[in-house]
Structure 1
């Protein structure tokens, strides 16, 4: 099976978008799986969703995916779509970072001339601030080491805790647990 054509890729992208929209609306995984199923006999809308879950089986007249498989497919779609969105966001962020660096560089040269030619202390201050901002933007500053200490600078006591203790603390804080459907 080769790479899907453009129309198929577009339909899969739409299915993933629909899966994310449904999950954001609070819909459970099985309902998402059924709503986006290719086979109308299990699709909650009673339609054949384009490029829906189990499309190959549906086209061959085979049994539709099980509820467990529909849940897996819905989870996979949402995870893949979120990963793709994160990658696109990273790419856009890099482009924006480059644009901001260019703007700071243009500002810097105007201020730098005034600082050097006229000895203008305000221009010197602005030049230093632009350099500091550019360095942070481009990640040129070394990370700052931070130490956490206890009272009077003494070492802190760190305790390991088990899952039972964490669930007890969450319940005390009003967060519920995984067993009661709150977590």
Structure 2
């Protein structure tokens, strides 16, 4: 198979970007596959998508990919696109985290524009909440240190008990609750 031309590479990059956009919008894999198919008879828009799924088959007049293949192509496009974004960002996070991060960025942009443009206090609150959620997702915030102490701020005593002793403690506690 020959190396794709510059125009074909650009069309493939656009197809992958479109696949990610559709996935971000919550579109199911088969619908993405059909929307980005090269063959107009299976393409949901009834057009020949440039460098769409099955483009080589369509160009040779062969049978179009089945639904399972369309789903595989769509999944692969989103996976490759996310891997490229990881490389660009220098971040090694799993795909689900990256997907949620991109969704939060999109939501933040809307809230941020409204907050800055109109000084809308609920939009400011929403933008801050989105930032907080994104920071937790990406592990940016330092974990909160929690210390436990016993009576009078002293150490906690840990004791081992047998199963029988534990049963007696539970029974005694249940008796106190009655």
* 2 and 154 in structure 1: CA distance in 2 versus 1, 3 angstrom threshold: farther
* Local SS of the residue matching 1:47: coil
Q: Which has the higher contact order (CA 8 A, sep 6+)?
A: 2
Structure 1 residues 1-183: aligned runs within 5 Å: 1-90=1-90, 152=156, 154=158
Give the unaligned 5+ runs of structure 1: 92-145, 156-183
- Matches of 2:60 and 2:35, distance apart in 1: 20
* Local SS of the residue matching 2:90: helix
Structure 1 length normalisation: TM-score?
Answer: 0.50
State the aligned residue count.
Answer: 101
- Matches of 1:154 and 1:46, distance apart in 2: 70
Deviation at 1:90, TM superposition (A): 1.0
Q: Which residue of 2 aligns with 1:178?
A: none
- Matches of 2:18 and 2:28, distance apart in 1: 13
- Matches of 1:26 and 1:6, distance apart in 2: 30
- Matches of 1:20 and 1:42, distance apart in 2: 20
Q: Which residue of 2 aligns with 1:164?
A: none
* 153 and 12 in structure 1: CA distance in 2 versus 1, 3 angstrom threshold: farther
* 36 and 153 in structure 1: CA distance in 2 versus 1, 3 angstrom threshold: farther
Structure 2 length normalisation: TM-score?
Answer: 0.52
Deviation at 1:153, TM superposition (A): 6.8
Give the unaligned 5+ runs of structure 2: 92-144, 151-155, 160-178
- Divergent runs of 4+, >4 A: none
Taking only aligned residues, the RMSD between alpha carbons, in angstroms, comes to 2.6
Deviation at 1:2, TM superposition (A): 3.0
* Local SS of the residue matching 1:43: coil
